[in-house]
Amino acid sequence: MSDCIFCKIVAGAIPARIAYEDEHVLAFHDISPQAPVHVLVIPRRHIATLNDLAPDDAGLVGAMTLTAQKLARDLVVDGTGFRLVLNCNADGGQDVFHLHLLGGRRMKWPPG
């Protein structure tokens, strides 16, 4: 997608502070963090919303979640706790398809 900022990050056209990458997933630090640890985990393939996932994408979503788990360990928030956020559509707070890993502070409820 030529107008998707995250696709541009995946392509290397926009710089990002990469936390993890493999053939399916890219994770990078948010440029406007909402917590001491705020990493975005995105699929390398453009997926507009959670509603656009197909049954064949179950492995991709699993890989994104396991990437977040690994990053929580690497960034040392696994023991104290962290939050994973996946927004869907405008009222859900979605800009583009991604998974937020937030940690390093106490998370409150309700979130927003």
State the pLDDT confidence band at 23, using cuts at 50, 70 and 90.
Answer: very high
Task: Report the number of distinct structural domains present in the chain.
Answer: 1
Most confident of 1-10, 16-25, 43-52: 16-25
**Tokens 């179950």 appear where?**
58
Range of the domain at 33: 5-103
Active-site residue, 98 included: no
CATH of the domain at 47: 3.30.428.10
State the pLDDT confidence band at 96, using cuts at 50, 70 and 90.
Answer: low
In a domain, 109, yes or no: no
In a domain, 112, yes or no: no
More confident residue, 1 or 47: 47
pLDDT of residue 111: 67
**Tokens 């959670």 appear where?**
50
Q: Of the residues 24, 29, 46, 100, which is catalytic?
A: 100
Residue 62 CB: number of other CB atoms within 10 A? 10
Residue 102 CB: number of other CB atoms within 10 A? 22
Give strand pairing partners of 28.
18, 40
In a domain, 21, yes or no: yes
| DSSP 8-state symbol, 21 | E
In a domain, 16, yes or no: yes
